[in-house]
Amino acid sequence: MADHSRPKRATIAHESNGRTPDAPISPSDLPPPASGIPTPDASFAAPSPDDLTIAGRTLRSRLLLGTGGFPSLELMAEAIAASGSELVTVALRRVAVGESQSGGSLIDVLADADVQLLPNTAGARTARDAVLTARLAREAFATDWIKLEVIGDEDTLLPDAPELLRAAEELVDEGFVVLPYTTDDPVLARRLVDVGCSAVMPLGSPIGSGMGIRNPYNIALIREAVSVPVVLDAGVGTASDATLAMELGCDAVMAASAISRAEDPVRMARAMRNAVEAGRLAHGAGRIPRRHYARASTSDEGLPEF
Amino acid sequence: MILNGEPVGGFAGETVAAVLVRLGLHTDARGVAVAVDGEVLPRSRWETFALPEDARVEVLTAMQGG
């Protein structure tokens, strides 16, 4: 399968990462024509112009994957491979006392998948709990990266803004790379970046709801408001939601339930991968303006008269 | 001692490492973290830190999660 998507991404490099507009692109900047599936060698190649960079770490995939909800670890591993994702979330929970332990296998499967771990603070309801969970995650997974979640409502699982901001500030002070799950409020996003967050992860709609992006206008405003990567998190239900996020200028999309609870998680993982790439390309390609009336695509010049 | 929310006997004075072994975990296990009385107990102290009788211990491990 010829893949025409990769060479063109040079022209849209970093424009929505808030970085400087690009210097002229030389042919050597263009990635070689490639098949859609990176070879192992390709993953060690020099960063291509459209890689995603968060806190100095380069990711070739703009799809982040949640590991929750998969019916089996085997399906999870297959879906990770199909998604192309290089950054996947994990949670911390109590070891069951008095039961045989199988907890190691998740870590083993993820190690085999050759992905980087993004621990989350899922379950935290206060800044204090979130900070402690982050410290434990750093100990457990040997990473400073943390997807910060502080939930303020049991029905909607919406973030608790004051607690979130407080926890973010404390964790940044402790040297964490903080990626907060936040509301679609541009002002809160800016405040989170002001305290040092390395990305923001606004919700499209409540976690696991599959309602897509309820307020595209706010997501676009967030992209304008901050200079760090914006990762659309939560609410993605199907591929078109991920594409819309990217068309709005998001730098990446996080998908969990949309993939893991789909009837065919592996197929949906592949769909999300293509959707993110399509949206990214469309965003960089410069869409036509919406018009009220038609505009003929065929010229009237030379039109015969009968 | 309260271990993961449940009162347990027979652990007082033992090291965290010994508790982990009794839970069926390896002390070099990746993806495991321990909190004692609301504070992280770093991996480097698991072999030496003796748990007081009234300790509240949380032993956590990696779980699937979004």
A132–B63: do the CB atoms touch at under 8 Å?
no
Interface contact B2, partner A, CB < 8 A: no
What residues contact A237, with CB distance under 8 A and at least 6 apart? A209, A210, A211, A212, A258
- Min Cα–Cα distance to chain A from B23, Å: 6
Interface contact A80, partner B, CB < 8 A: no
pLDDT of residue A30 exceeding 70: no
ipTM, interface predicted TM-score of the complex: 0.91
pTM: predicted TM-score of the whole model, two decimal places: 0.81
pLDDT of residue A130 exceeding 70: yes
Joined together, the tokens standing for residue A230 give: 């914006």
Residue from A145, A11, A41, A16 nearest A87 by CA: A145
Instruction: Quote the CA–CA distance of A128 and A130 in Å, as a whole number.
Output: 5
Query: What pLDDT score was predicted for residue B53?
Result: 87
Q: Would you place residue A47 in the very low, low, confident or very high pLDDT band (cuts 50, 70, 90)?
A: low
Query: What pLDDT score was predicted for residue A276?
Result: 97
Q: Which residues pair with A89 in a beta bridge?
A: A66, A118
pLDDT of residue A10 exceeding 80: no
Is A65 exposed, middle or buried (CB count within 10 Å of its CB: 0-12, 13-18, 19+)? buried
pLDDT of residue A184 exceeding 50: yes
Q: Would you place residue A4 in the very low, low, confident or very high pLDDT band (cuts 50, 70, 90)?
A: very low
Q: Do residues A146 and A137 touch, judged by C-beta distance below 8 A?
A: yes
B66–A100: do the CB atoms touch at under 8 Å?
no
- pLDDT of A96-108, one tens digit each? 876 655 545 888 8
Joined together, the tokens standing for residue A69 give: 């909800």
Q: H-type helices in A3-72, by residue range?
A: 5-8
Q: Which CATH number fits domain A56-93+104-285: 3.20.20.210, 3.20.20.70, 3.40.190.80, 3.30.160.270?
A: 3.20.20.70
Helix (H) or strand (E) holding A218: helix A216-225
A106–B38: do the CB atoms touch at under 8 Å?
no
Chain B residues within an 8 Å CB radius of A208: 66
- pLDDT of A50-75, one tens digit each? 899 999 999 999 999 999 999 999 99
> What are the extents of the domains in chain B?
2-61
- Min Cα–Cα distance to chain B from A107, Å: 7
Query: What pLDDT score was predicted for residue B21?
Result: 85
Q: What percent of chain A stands above pLDDT 70?
A: 82
Mean pLDDT value across residues A18-37:
45
Q: Would you place residue A150 in the very low, low, confident or very high pLDDT band (cuts 50, 70, 90)?
A: very high
Chain A residues within an 8 Å CB radius of B45: none
CB atoms near residue A266 (< 10 Å):
18
Q: Which of A6, A9, A138, A147 is catalytic?
A: A147
> What are the extents of the domains in chain A?
56-93+104-285
- B2-61 architecture in CATH? Roll (3.10)
Q: What percent of chain B stands above pLDDT 90?
A: 35
Mean pLDDT over the full length of chain A: 86
Mean pLDDT value across residues A235-253:
97
A267 versus B44: the higher-pLDDT residue is: A267
- Catalytic, A8? Answer no
